[in-house]
Structure 1
Amino acid sequence: HALCFCGVFFRSGLLLVDCNNEETATWLAEVAPKLEGWEGPLLSARRGEEIPRMYKMRSRLHNSAHKSVDYALGLLRVQNEGIYPKAWQIITSDIEDSSLKIIVGIDEESYMQIKKQGFRLNYRFSAIFMRPLKPMSKVERAGVSEPVYW
């Protein structure tokens, strides 16, 4: 049988490939771990409920208003082992005073490492905190028609 894919979707920390049939899914599961040229978490193929959870995190990167988000994430990568900012998805970024505020979607490996470090990461000549986004409570959501995270 020919390989047949239904679509490819980019999500925080992963590339989701929708296979049209079992033969294609089996082929992808065999080939993915053998692919080279990838920096970051090991490549693997997962099915349905095995797909790892993605985490949304927020942070304020001090003294970075004049830098790009890519530059700031690069500093996080080189100053902290076990996290993979190249695989993170930037959800929003904003400048406030001299800080760069970001909300990112991250992979499970990075999340577990950040959690292990007490949500504290080395950044520039200091440290920053990355906090998981939590859904707002019912009271906080009153009058809001769409899900809001803070």
Structure 2
Amino acid sequence: MDKKYPEVILEIDQLKAIKKSIMEEVMALGKEDAIKPNFQQSHIRPGWLDLTCFDKATVEWLRNIQPKLKPWEGADLRIAEEAELPHLEILVGYLPESQDLSCEEIFKLVENHNEGLKTSSWRVLRRGPSGPMHEIVISDDRASVERLRAQNWRINYLFGQSNLRLKGSKATVERREAPQASTSGPERPKGEETEKVVKPPGNEEATKPTNKSGRRAVPQRHETGGPAE
């Protein structure tokens, strides 16, 4: 990372250049060199390069070559210890009237509207329309997240307030619930009558439906003489 991180945030092309410089140092090793540097994995983080060394010997080798790493003119890099590595959080916000604003303009508005919020280490991961609002996904530093938490995730923005919340947490904006469907069944037209068949104990004949006159309904036969289905 840059020595002035988080005031100075390295771009992706610069971080790739650092990896290339390290690779060149590995290729420059001679047969007589005892060190065989090995890395388990690498990740390009927002503003810095994350390297996991396989052993302590690799860590020491990296520290020794770090002053020689000049991937571009004026590069001023440093190696951070694991304990001081920045831990970024992912925030999601829904902002009004921001579709035509650049990321820099959005961050400038956030800083100018809110005392104590610094956006120098913020990075936009994704943005796009979401209904009438503009959804923005941001990688944020822990200090900013704690300040937002203290403010109940509310920020002043343009002509009102908006939310910036940790990704995956419940939104505070109330949503209108859809009308609940009735569970009492469809409403019957007025005047329509229903007939109930009551089965007195031991009287099987009472199970046959009756018409409005009280007489038992007799199944009609088809003209062919077959039974009704």
TM-score computed with the length of structure 2 as normaliser: 0.42
Change (3 A) 1:118 1:27: farther
| Residue equivalent to 2:91 | 57
What is the CA–CA distance in structure 1 between the aligned matches of 2:62 and 2:114, rounded to whole Å?
37
Q: Which has the higher helix share?
A: 1
Change (3 A) 1:71 1:98: farther
What is the CA–CA distance in structure 2 between the aligned matches of 1:26 and 1:118, rounded to whole Å?
45
Larger Rg: 2
User: Which 5+ residue runs of structure 2 have no aligned equivalent?
Assistant: 1-20, 24-41, 67-77, 170-229
| Residue equivalent to 2:104 | 70
* SS of aligned partner of 2:106: helix
1:16 to 49, 54, 64: 49
1:115 matched to 2:149 = yes
1:102 matched to 2:113 = no
Q: Calculate the aligned-residue CA RMSD, in Å.
A: 3.2
Greater RCO (CA < 8 Å, at least 6 residues apart): 1
**Aligned 8 A contact 1:69 1:93 in 2:** no
Give the number of equivalent residue pairs. 116
**Aligned 8 A contact 1:5 1:17 in 2:** no
Matches within 5 A, 1:117-136: 117-134=151-168
Q: CA deviation at 1:23?
A: 7.7
| Residue equivalent to 1:84 | 118
TM-score computed with the length of structure 1 as normaliser: 0.60
Q: Percent identity?
A: 20
What is the CA–CA distance in structure 2 between the aligned matches of 1:63 and 1:76, rounded to whole Å?
13
1:46 matched to 2:80 = yes
Q: Which has the higher strand share?
A: 1
Residue deviations 1:79-99, cap 9 Å, x none? 113322232121110013442
Return the letter of the residue paired with 1:114. Answer: L
Return the letter of the residue paired with 1:74. Answer: K
